[in-house]
Amino acid sequence: MRRRVQKSISRFFTEMFLLFRKSFMMIYKNFFLIVAFLIIYSVFNIALTYMLVNFLTSIALKLTGFTYIGPDNMLKFIRAPGTILLLLLLSICMCLLHIMEMSSLMHAYSLSMTGRKATLKGMISAGILSSAKTFHPRNWLILPFILILMPLSGFFSFSFNSLQANIPGFVQEFINENKLYHILYLGFDFILLLIVITYIYAMNFYLLGNKSFSDSCKESRKLISKHRIITVFYMWFAAVLFSIIVTGITTAATTVLHELTTLSPIIKSKTDELRLAHWIVVTNDFMAYITAPAINVASLTTLFFHYLKEKPMISLLKNEDYEERMLSRRLALSLIAALIGLLSFTLYNSFPYFLAPKNEELSRPAIVAHRGDSVNAPENTRPAFELALLENADWVELDVEQTSDGEIVVCHDDNLQRICGKKLYVHNLTLPEIRQLDIGSWFSKDFSDVRISTLDEILKLYKNQIPVQIEIKYSGYNNRLEENILKIVNKNGMHDQVIITSLKSKPLKRIKELDPTMITTYSMFFSWQHIEDIPYSDYYTVEESNIDPMLVYNVHSAGGKIFAWTVNSEDSVQYLVDCEVDGILTDDPNMMKKALENCKYTSGIQQYFRLFTDAMRKY
């Protein structure tokens, strides 16, 4: 029994070694060709995706009669027939780009298995021909497979253009905090992963042969039946090995840079060293992002031919055939004309931004302590607000709820279970009852004596210190909430030191009816185009992933300000600086202060170049 197990393990690792060797040789034989293709394709993909998104969204806005997309009109916009059709068209375009890249890479790898060298022309031709196959009704099943199943499952990316279903951070936090939702989410994710793995070889059958996608799924199900575990393990191990290599290169380059700092007259300060180190990391991340799909496709192709064990299919992959079946001159010219048209439209829409006068240096965004310093103290508590003041935050943001006796307290949720462990609601409790609750122990035992503060108490802390953003958490229990907030603000003489913000337009409308001079801010988890047209709002707080230069430019042109929320990582700070946001909401003011110190504030060409490189990562 022991010998049998040892033989099985030995056979397993021998097979793994042979597979890795085959994958390595496939990449090695076509290394420079693949790198050239990936660079050309990535630039083309980013430009085309950006232009298509802007072009189709602009058309959809005109069809619906809107000038912007925000939380108040998003459902109406999405439900409009014209929007649905245009979204479908955009999805199909994204799917075709995915197929094009994956097919091109598989073409090159498959040819290398026969001992032949691929060509750039042949790779592009193979990608275009495979994309064209999708229009046949027998192959329409590939659309939901690529657009829905693969992104939702979070399986390995097989294309630079892979559509990833990234759940917004605040939604992910909500799921993680609720055990039932978290279990359901994990179960749903596991089922989707099983489905994708079952049909993963369908991409090989479809892209390398003459089979329809439905027939390819059947073939994949047969092929994977005996090799499901080895397929997942091999691809996972290859991805881990690739990550280790990339991390090793980044670490080595950063270490060498640090050692050379004392010898190089070019690197004059610690800041210069940090900036160069940052660019090393960014470059490695970008290269990993565009090369990871190539590694994954190589792994999948290796496994496919290893388990297929039938070689007639390779005869279909003649490089000469792909080169001869190129697009006709008329169709090629039509595609070029369409691309020129999209580019012209994009540049025309961006002209106001590029032609606007620029300062020699970009301004540093204000640091807004989101719920105080909520990294080092419980959120929305006096200790968190005192820390934010000591850390020289430029603004502070807090949330308010109303008790049953009409008192305004500083608290994020009406339901207090998250911060006190008891399912109690602010609107059902009086202020004396709430004062008895421990809202600090959930964070640390050191804060067990912390209690909920009133808005009046916190405003007194910040009077004549720094501006305050008061976010209204609107619910059906907020009777005269807006009136009571304004009364407290005016009683403390802080009218010009406070702005009122909300995720709902109704409380902002009421604030403007009560006091038209009070500055209001619409907080949005999604935004697009001319959000400055949103009524009842002077400023705008936008979820960081929705920030772009034109959005900020439009708001500034209308005399407003725009803030990004909630940024707890240094990764996107430089991008937000280049977009020229007015402030950044963060749970960690100290981290944000250091991140802003390491940012570059040069405008003009250097700024546009940084925006382009960030767009490469974003799209």
Among 141, 108, 111, residue whose Cα is nearest residue 38: 108
**Predicted confidence (pLDDT) per residue in 286-308, tens digit:** 666 667 778 888 888 888 888 87
The DSSP string of 507-548 is: HHHHHHHH-TTS-EEEEESS-EE-GGG-TT-SEEEEEGGG--
**Predicted confidence (pLDDT) per residue in 69-111, tens digit:** 888 888 888 889 989 998 888 888 888 888 888 888 888 888 8
- Which H or E run includes 128? helix 120-133
Higher pLDDT, 156 or 212: 212
| The pLDDT value given to residue 592 | 95
Angle, CA 357 vertex, CA 356 and CA 363 arms, to 5°: 105
Higher pLDDT, 173 or 179: 179
Cβ atoms of 313 and 209 closer than 8 Å: yes
Mean pLDDT of 325-350: 72
In the chain, domain spans: 24-349, 366-618
In sequence order, the 6+-apart residues with CB closer than 8 A to the CB of 242 are 288, 292, 295
| The pLDDT value given to residue 337 | 82
CA atoms within 13 Å, Cβ hemisphere of 127:
22
How do 408-410 and 395-402 pair as beta strands? Answer: antiparallel
314 confidence band (pLDDT: 50, 70, 90):
very low
Mean pLDDT of 113-135: 81
pTM equals: 0.72
| The pLDDT value given to residue 113 | 74
Q: Computed over its alpha carbons, how large is the radius of gyration of the chain?
A: 28
Mean pLDDT of 337-352: 75
| The pLDDT value given to residue 339 | 77
Helix (H, G, I), strand (E, B) or coil at 466: coil
Distance (Å, rounded) from C-alpha 5 to C-alpha 15? 15
Distance (Å, rounded) from C-alpha 237 to C-alpha 232? 8
**pLDDT above 70: percentage of residues in the chain:** 79
Cα 345 to chain center, whole Å?
A: 26
Higher pLDDT, 585 or 107: 585
Distance (Å, rounded) from C-alpha 126 to C-alpha 143? 19
The DSSP letter of residue 445 is G
The DSSP bridge partners found for residue 30 are none
**Predicted confidence (pLDDT) per residue in 460-481, tens digit:** 999 999 999 999 987 777 788 9
Mean pLDDT of 186-207: 81
CA dihedral (295, 298, 302, 303) in degrees, to 10, reads 60
Which amino acid, residue 449?
A: D
Least confident of 192-196, 251-255, 403-407, 535-539: 251-255
Mean pLDDT of 331-335: 71
Asked whether residue 15 carries a pLDDT value surpassing 80, the answer given is no
Cβ atoms of 49 and 79 closer than 8 Å: no
Distance (Å, rounded) from C-alpha 15 to C-alpha 67? 59
Higher pLDDT, 360 or 586: 586
Least confident of 143-147, 316-320, 537-541: 316-320
Tell me, which fold does domain 366-618 have in CATH? TIM Barrel (3.20.20)
The DSSP letter of residue 117 is -
Mean pLDDT of 212-217: 88
| The pLDDT value given to residue 300 | 85
